[in-house]
Amino acid sequence: MPRVNSPEELEKTRQGIRSRRDPGRACVSICAGTGCLASGASEVIDAFNAEIKKQGLKAAVDTKGTGCPGFCEKGPVVVIYPEEICYLQVKPEDVAEIVSRTLKEKKVVDRLLFVDPVTNEKATCESDIPFYKNQVRNIIGDNIKMDPKNIEDYLALGGYSALAKALSRMTSEQVLEEVKKANLRGRGGGGFPTGRKWTESRNAPDKIKYVIVNADEGDPGAFMDRAILEGNPHSILEGLTIGAYAVGSHEGFIYVRQEYPLAVENVLIAIRQAEEVGLLGKNILGSGFDFTVTVHQGAGAFVSGESSALMTAIEGRVGEPRPKYIHTAVKGLWEKPSVLNNVETWANVPLIINKGADWFVRFGTEGSTGTKIFSLVGKINNTGLVEVPMGITLRDIIYKVGGGIPGGKRFKAVQTGGPSGGCIPEGKLDMKVDFDELTKAGSMMGSGGMIVMDEDTCMVDVARYFLDFLSDESCGKCVPCREGIRQMHKLLSDIGKGKGKEGDIELLEELSEVTRDASLCALGKSAPNPVLSTIRYFREEYEAHIREKRCPAYSCKELIAYHIDPDKCRACMMCLKKCPAEAIAGGKNRIHVIDQGKCTKCGTCLEVCPPRFGAVEKISGKPVPPPIPEEARTIVRESKGR
C-alpha cells in the first residue's frame, strides 16, 4: 500500500479499499484467537481453504482468520458473510457440508447453530444469540470482521480516522479535554482517571516523555487484553498515538508477556504495516508529529505488571516495584515522564475521539463510564469474553450473558479483580458492577477477570489458592508483603488440612491489616482481599474446617474421603478399571471397596460410576464406614430368563 501523507489521502485510500470490496461477496470468518486455536481452529481454516478450492468456489469466496469474538465456550466460531450466519463448535469434518449447503445452495446447516438451552430455539445470526444480544460490544465487536494481520481490514472499518481527526482538526489540549470529559478510567485495575494521568505527564517539565501499553496481563483467568491485542492491534496503536500526541511524547512501548506469542506476532505486523502506510514514524499524516513504537516482551513475572516494575523491566532490569512518592507520570521510564495505560484503556481512546465524550458517557454509570470487558470463566455455561456497559448487575452478566451455572449446580460466589480481588456471594448478585460498587463489596474491578464458583468450590481453598499465587509472585523486596502473605498462606493451608485452630480467623484478619497498610505496591496492599472477603461472606465455612474438620464443599483433599456404598454398588468394574492409583479392590460380582490408604482422592471413581448406581460418595467431617467383610461382598444375581 502506498504511503498516505494527509488525512485526505487516508480517506481516499479507505474509499479505494472499500470500493474494491463487494459487500455482497461471501466471506468465511473463522476465529483464530488463542482459545479457538486450542480447540482446533487452524485445522478448520485449512479445511475451509481446501474445500472451497475443491468445490470450485475459490474465486467467489474469501476466508479469513480473525480475532476473538468472545464466545470461547462454543469455539471454533465461524461466521459466514454477508448473511452473518454463525456456526459454533465447527470441526474439520463439518466443513464440506458448510461449503456445499451454505456457500453453494445458500441454506443453513441447522445442527451447527446455537440452540438456546432453555427454549430450545435456534439462532442463525450472532445478534440473535443471547450471549451476544445482552452485550454492548463497542470494542470487541469488530474482532470477527477483521484479519488482524491486514491493515486494510482495519481501514475499511474506519480505522485511523480518530487519529486523522486528532492530528488535523484538534489541538493536543482538545484531545486531552475530550478524554477528561469522557471520564475514562484505567481498565487495568486501579481505575485511575486517564485524563488526570495524561495531564500530569504533559505538565511535567521534562521534554522527553514516553507512553506505554501495559499488556502484561497476568491475572489467571483473564484474557481480554490478549483478545484485543491479538484481534485488533491497530486500535491499540491508534489509541497510543493519539495519547502520545496529547501528552507530547514521540516514543511508545508495548510491554507484552511472552506467554502471548500470537499477540506479539500480530502487534509486530501491525507496527510494520502502520509504518509503511505512514501512520507511525515521521510526520504522521503530514501533521509534523513523529511517533515510533517498540515492543518489549516480559519474561514471566506477575509483579512486573505493576507500573514502576514494568518500567524497570523495559530498562532491561529486574522488574521490581519502587515506592511512588513521585508518580511514574512525572518520573517513570529512564526517569522521564511516562504514561502507562492498560490495553483496554488505549482501545477506548479512538472511540472517544471519533464519537465524542458525550457519546461515551451514555454507557455506564456516573462514576464509571463506558463499557468493560470481562473474562467470564469457571463454573459458567458460556465461558468467554463479554463486553457490557458498566453498571449492569452481576446477575445479568452471569445469567443473561453467561447462561447460568452448568450441571444444575447452585451458584456460590463470583470472584472479581484477579488474585487480589474478592469473592462476592449470592446475596449481592443484584449489585451494579462498577469501580466503586465492587470496592465497597470488598472486592475490586481489577482488570476484569470474573470467576464463577458453584457449591463444589471451597472458599477456604479459593483464598489459599490466591495467596499461594501471590506468595509465589511477591518479589520479596518489602517485608510486609513477603512475610505477611507467606504467613497467611500457611494458616490457610493448615485450615484446609484440618490443622486449623481457634483464633486462626482473627489472626488472619490481623495479618491482613498489616499487609494491606504497610506493603510497598498494590500487590501487597490488595493481597488480603481474597482472605478478608471470604471471611466476611463465608465465615461459617472457615469455622466448619477449624471446628468440625469438615469441608462443606467436599473439596479439601485432606478432609474428604471417597466411599463406595456397598448397598448401591453393582460391581460393574468401571471405577476399579479407571482408578489411576489401583486403590479399588473387587471383581466381577464382588462389591468394590476403596483402600483408603492407597486412595489419592483424585475423584475418578465418582466421575465414572454410572449415575444409575450412584454408589460412590464423598464423606467429610465424619469417619469412613469400615469396609464390609470379605464374605459379604459377593453379589448374587438372578440369571436372565428365569
Partner 1 sequence: MGRETKVGKEMMDNDRIDQIIDKHQGDASSLIQILLEIQKENRWLPKEALEKVSRRLQVPLNRIQHIVTFYKAFSLVPRGRHEIHVCMGTACHVRGAPRVLDTVQDLTGIKPGETDGDLKFSLETVNCLGCCALGPVVEVNGKHHGKVAPAEIAEVLKKYD
By CB under 8 A, name the binding residues for partner 1: 34-35, 38-39, 72-73, 75, 218-223, 226, 258-260, 296-302, 313-320, 375, 377-379, 383-384, 415, 419, 449, 451, 453, 457, 462, 465-466, 469, 475, 557, 578, 580-581, 600-604, 607-608
Q: How far apart are CA 196 and CA 341, in angstroms?
A: 12
Strands 114-115 and 584-587: unpaired
Minimum distance of partner 1 from residue 88's CB (angstroms): 12
Q: How far apart are CA 372 and CA 391, in angstroms?
A: 10
Q: How far apart are CA 330 and CA 475, in angstroms?
A: 24
Minimum distance of partner 1 from residue 604's CB (angstroms): 5
Minimum distance of partner 1 from residue 462's CB (angstroms): 8
Contact 47, 95 (CB under 8 A): yes
Query: Any idea what the Cα angle at residue 418 is, between residues 511 and 320, rounded to 5°?
Result: 70
- Cβ closer to partner 1: 129 or 162? 129
Q: How far apart are CA 19 and CA 152, in angstroms?
A: 12
Cell numbers placing 467: 495467596
- Cβ closer to partner 1: 11 or 259? 259
- Cβ closer to partner 1: 198 or 253? 253
Q: Report the residue count for the chain.
A: 642
- Cβ closer to partner 1: 319 or 350? 319
- Cβ closer to partner 1: 319 or 370? 319
User: Which residues in 138-149 are b (16+ Cβ under 10 Å) and which e?
Assistant: bbbbbbbbbbbb
Q: How far apart are CA 600 and CA 336, in angstroms?
A: 55
Minimum distance of partner 1 from residue 169's CB (angstroms): 37
Minimum distance of partner 1 from residue 320's CB (angstroms): 8
Cell 485495575 sits on residue? 189
Cell 463465608 sits on residue? 538
Minimum distance of partner 1 from residue 127's CB (angstroms): 21
- Cβ closer to partner 1: 159 or 528? 528
Minimum distance of partner 1 from residue 131's CB (angstroms): 12
Minimum distance of partner 1 from residue 308's CB (angstroms): 15
- Angle at which helix 172-182 crosses helix 194-203, to 10 degrees, equals 150
Cell numbers placing 61: 469466496
Cis amide linkage into residue 552, ω under 30° from 0:
no
Question: Strands (DSSP E) along 258-329, which ranges?
Answer: 292-298
- Cβ closer to partner 1: 510 or 595? 595
- Cβ closer to partner 1: 32 or 314? 314
Contact 589, 637 (CB under 8 A): yes
Cis amide linkage into residue 82, ω under 30° from 0:
yes
DSSP per-residue codes, 189-210: TT--BHHHHHHHHHHSS-S--E
12 CB neighbour count, 10 Å cutoff: 12
Minimum distance of partner 1 from residue 98's CB (angstroms): 22
Minimum distance of partner 1 from residue 378's CB (angstroms): 5
- Cβ closer to partner 1: 142 or 219? 219
- Cβ closer to partner 1: 209 or 296? 296
Minimum distance of partner 1 from residue 73's CB (angstroms): 5
Q: How far apart are CA 95 and CA 89, in angstroms?
A: 11
Minimum distance of partner 1 from residue 40's CB (angstroms): 9
Specify burial of residue 322 (Cβ count, 10 A radius: 0-12, 13-18, 19+): middle
- Cβ closer to partner 1: 238 or 461? 461
DSSP H or E run through 411: strand 411-416
In the sheet that holds 85-87, the strands lie side by side as 61-66, 26-31, 78-81, 85-87
Which residues are registered as beta bridge partners of 451?
Answer: 377, 415
- Cβ closer to partner 1: 11 or 558? 558
Q: How far apart are CA 102 and CA 104, in angstroms?
A: 6
